[in-house]
Structure 1
């Protein structure tokens, strides 16, 4: 959640200020940058306009947390200047002092980020290159490195951006993934000191490029398949805009191998295949620019993304802020339907919060064609929901969340037993008139089954739906009216059994802005 406001700024739409997801007090925010865990504190930096609620004046905003739920906003970490904007990048803890910028006892935090040069700089206007800054006080103040930039393309490019850096343990060196966004191609580099970079290889295009498609925010990381360290795979996660699975911007991924130089993707569909043939981290409209935390306290990778879509990001009806983060999720790689799939799960801090709260759990019940408004114990605009449904002749069944009692307003989460699809329909979720590109329904093909388990995280202006061991995620913004806080169970075309249902209200957790 956002930290409490200072009183000088009053939110015009407090009913949509999220409780569980980070937002700045005011103004524009997009991609997360350099999330890092250091000395017991989680830091997120992010693309920020410190002057307006629209994209521009790109700088790095900054917030910290000890539990990934309560966030404190800080002063702008790296502001734009007369000669450059500060685009996306990453932060690492240089524990072995490979850069020489810190000490063994007090390692430097090192940021690699994209400088976008302006008129009056030593570069042509619009040129993008990778720069370095470092912090010796735990991420609160930053010094630009004297060699600037540390990595350029030859010839110069206006689309060379988004460095993500990690330590490659087998080779004992750093690896950077960047993009030439409009090519589109991922470029890999190595360095022994975070300053001097050597080209390794290119990845892409992977066969599903379309006119105008950009690749952004690439990340490369290893995961054990099904928890078996002897079966390690590598995952390349890439932001795609437009042409995502739900329209506009989204996050795709490739599973394969990495030998320290080249990433090889496995099981690629034939060139020219529809984007639906590829693997997507999220099938909703509002998950983009996902990036991993570095320096994490656990071996399991932790990711966070921008919960928005470039199709309508500038017009979402929130004030005085515009933009928010997804809930941080841990990542795993599991064999689902005979192939490796990236799987998401809420972080332990979130699950501990849910476990500490009282749930509404009615036990199993059957519902013939029709609806059942759940009692007040299941009401709320911030909820955690687990349910399992089994078809007994029903064509479809599920829940409507953030609903009015008459079902005039609500976000519909449904499993179609005939078509074997899971869907989120936000056609009647509240405000939808702010953009014709605000897509209404998002549908995922699922393996044939007569029952399905679903986990739903509901916040004041969003739903995150997870199923199939977290390999299917649908993340969507919604803008419901105040008072639309009911949950409604439904079945259509026959009977369905809700074999399990837990609804946990979280609304009074923390400070409401």
Structure 2
């Protein structure tokens, strides 16, 4: 395997070059690189002694992916000219050590100095958005995700891949999917957009995803097709990729994406739902198939009320339809939508009802918000040992990460989904396996804790349902703060970044309990048994000097406790 910090060679024509060490037999190296300036000679070389066995010569001025596997019976040395070649991402891996060690980034400079959240998944480097292809197989959780290897900003989409046994310790795997063609020389966007995993009636895993063909406008005049992927036996690379839906139904414009697919045992067929807009109204479309390859359009499963289009929603993205407690839950993101009362945008909504492939979706009850904080998008669910779990992307474009970061994007904590007696979607964070330690009180009026650098969990439990007022504040050493308040039936979240033009608020006429998890700028809030959730991401306040709870209620009316949470080491 390639190892060691880059160092200069000292002889021959390689005086200004660097070496990345040795590539052992069977190991693979991958990199995305471009010329720093016009060059007509080799700028990246892999050698067996003095013999060149692989090189990148005359690289283009745009990033291009290269991959080499050492099929020799001896280690090979890896060299590059850092003055001539710009590398956005490079890593190496060996199939034998990949399940435990994952990929190894190059150069071996370690993590960036910025403090990443400890409990929340983030990419090794560069940009990440929607979770994709979530599934649980042979005791391992698989997380695929939208990934741009060339920048910490959004760009041509790939699928990253990570694997975990406990949902907290993740091993980074090689990039799984690439755009159909390199979009950069075309000056285009697109690539391997979001999709899902499906285990068929034959027990074989396959993936379905949207390919956005080369596009030159982010909002119009692009084409999206649906593809099926059969993974190779090792699960590291695709074995076969087939376009299964290439034409849009009548009334559907360019937005036609994010397939969620599952096999329905009752009707013995595959079902697919897609996000789209039908005659301009955000919609979810239903397809069926007997073999998972030949699909038939059955019509719209859901069409949004007219106000969504009027309030800017272009289409529905990332829909999901899942059975819970004897009902079905349809949830979806409304991209472009802005709530006129609060200014919040791109909210996810859900609706509970009945579903039959022939009868469609029959709603029971109103459309409700999935998460009122809005930094919670593209949620995707999956089954793991009869538990319905879900993960979402913690970003919503309202606030950008400061420039210069090595990465951008985190995932939510995994949440277990259920329906309560009122048929409300409830989400509970998966915390089992984490190491918890109680935080002592440092003051009692108001209640105050000092969490330090560790993630922390605040828990509040009401003795009765008459709690009307409290204020939770997290403060850093520079006296910047975020807050969560309940005031006369309104639950509100405020960050230092907020300018007052967006109100992150939710009606809460009755309060019973609260769990608040804080992890280096991420706040995940679960209220009333998880039936009300709010998620925010702050890039300004990432460390806590104190956590304060101020309330006018007597101590016996509201029990309050806090604890730190740390992630156990693998195998611990």
Question: TM-score higher than 0.5 here?
Answer: yes
Deviation at 1:362, TM superposition (A): 5.9
Distance 1:421 1:497 in 2: 23
Specify which of 358, 365, 377 is matched with residue 288 of structure 1: 377
Show structure 2 runs of 5+ residues with no match.
Answer: 1-101, 184-189
Distance 1:420 1:187 in 2: 37
Matched, 1:202 2:300: yes
**Aligned match of 1:221:** 322
SS at match of 2:177: coil
Answer with 1 or 2: which has the greater Rg: 2
Distance 2:256 2:119 in 1: 33
Deviation at 1:239, TM superposition (A): 0.9
Show structure 1 runs of 5+ residues with no match.
Answer: 98-106, 225-231, 269-277
Matched, 1:180 2:276: yes
Contact preservation (8 Å) 2:472, 2:550: yes
The worse-fitting range, judged by mean Cα deviation, of 76-85 and 23-32 is 76-85
Instruction: Report Cα offsets for 1:251-273 as digits up to 9, x if no partner.
Output: 110111111231121234xxxxx
**Aligned match of 1:141:** 237
Specify which of 98, 117, 120 is matched with residue 21 of structure 1: 120
Distance 2:519 2:155 in 1: 28
**Aligned match of 2:351:** 254
TM-score (norm 2): 0.71
Distance 1:92 1:351 in 2: 26
**Aligned match of 1:101:** none
**Aligned match of 1:59:** 158
SS at match of 2:175: coil
SS at match of 1:210: helix
Q: Tell me: CA distance 1:392–1:32, structure 2 relative to 1, closer, same or farther (3 Å).
A: closer
TM-score (norm 1): 0.79
Q: Relative CO higher for 1 or 2, CA cutoff 8 Å, sep ≥ 6? A: 1
Deviation at 1:13, TM superposition (A): 5.5
More strand by share: 2
Contact preservation (8 Å) 2:244, 2:294: no
Matched, 1:312 2:371: no
Contact preservation (8 Å) 1:28, 1:48: yes
Q: How does 1:394-409 map to 2 (within 5 A)?
A: 396-401=469-474, 403-404=475-476, 408-409=479-480
Instruction: Report Cα offsets for 1:454-480 as digits up to 9, x if no partner.
Output: 001111120100011111000000234
Contact preservation (8 Å) 1:253, 1:279: yes
Q: RMSD between aligned alpha carbons?
A: 3.2
Contact preservation (8 Å) 2:131, 2:378: yes
Matched, 1:342 2:425: yes
Instruction: Report Cα offsets for 1:1-44 as digits up to 9, x if no partner.
Output: x99966645555622x1111111021111111111111111111
Q: Which runs of 4+ in 1 moved over 6 A?
A: 2-5, 390-395
Deviation at 1:399, TM superposition (A): 2.3
**Aligned match of 1:167:** 263
How many residues get paired? 449
Instruction: Report Cα offsets for 1:60-102 as digits up to 9, x if no partner.
Output: 11111111111111111001223761111111123x32xxxxx
Q: Tell me: CA distance 1:441–1:491, structure 2 relative to 1, closer, same or farther (3 Å).
A: farther
Contact preservation (8 Å) 2:333, 2:348: yes
SS at match of 1:309: coil
